[in-house]
Amino acid sequence: MQSPSPLEVSLFSEALVPTVYGEFLVSVYKDNQSEDETVLISHNLSDAVAPFIRVHSECFTGEVLGSLKCDCRDQLALSLKEIQKRGSGAVIYLRQEGRGIGLGNKIKAYDLQNKGADTIEANHMLGFGTDLRTFDRAALILKDRSIDKIVLNTNNPEKLESLKNFGIEITERVPSLSAVNEHNKDYLETKMKLLGHHLDPLF
Ligand SMILES: Nc1nc2c(ncn2[C@@H]2O[C@H](COP(=O)(O)OP(=O)(O)OP(=O)(O)O)[C@@H](O)[C@H]2O)c(=O)[nH]1
Ligand SMILES: [Zn+2]
């Protein structure tokens, strides 16, 4: 049997977009293994030796609906503001809704969470692993831009490890801390205690 060809990304389209945070160059990448489009949202990216980068996974409920159950919307906004403040950097936006299980299954997981399961138990009850994401598309897009050294904006140790394994040097980790509320408290605590996310300053 033929082994699948290695993942490759290629730039499909690019345009400047004015946003409430400032102007960004929005670059859409396609790949040879999925229908998903990955988006690089950058500002003066080539100006820094080790640019400020957030690798962010899609969250319809948080980013579009303003759901209070997670920290995704705040984290995305914080990173876009920080990029403009620093004068350089990028968000790589991966279409990995619900840690890779998709929106339909994430809403099933939310129903289970409303009945008492935590974010990890709900995934397992639906027959999924804790986190199905991979960060190889992000690493390939950085390589496409000739970037091999970054400042990474995350609390997630898996993201650090994964990008390092793809040959990206992380010169610094900048935390991404949003506000705790009554709806996201348990979720954030579970990420901190069971997944080792560096969220201690919030509690
Ligand atoms: N399955 C599932 N996915 C969730 C839940 N809450 C949020 N998500 C998804 O979790 C992912 C969060 O992505 P990120 O914010 O990039 O990543 P993170 O792992 O929290 O790491 P950092 O924010 O970088 O510290 C998104 O894909 C969301 O859609 C949940 O309760 N269940
Ligand atoms: Zn979210």
pLDDT digits (tens, 9 = 90+) for 157-186: 999 999 999 999 999 999 999 999 999 999
Domain assignment of residue 171, given as a range: 9-96+133-180
ipTM for the whole complex: 0.97
Residue 123 lies in a domain: no
Residue 184 β-bridge partners: none
**At 5, is the pLDDT very low, low, confident or very high (cuts 50, 70, 90)?**
confident
User: Is residue 56 part of an annotated ligand binding site?
Assistant: yes
Number of folded domains that form the chain = 1
Environment of ion ligand 2 (residues, CB < 5 A): 59, 62, 70, 72
Smallest CA separation from ligand 1 atom 18, residue: 156
| CA gap 31, 29 in Å, rounded | 7
Q: 121 in helix, strand or coil?
A: helix
Does the pLDDT at position 3 exceed 90?
no
Separation of CA 71 and ligand 2 centre (Å): 6
Query: What CATH number did the domain enclosing 78 receive?
Result: 3.40.50.10990
Cβ 46 vs Cβ 27: under 8 Å: no
Residue 189 lies in a domain: no
Residue 44 lies in a domain: yes
Residue 106 lies in a domain: no
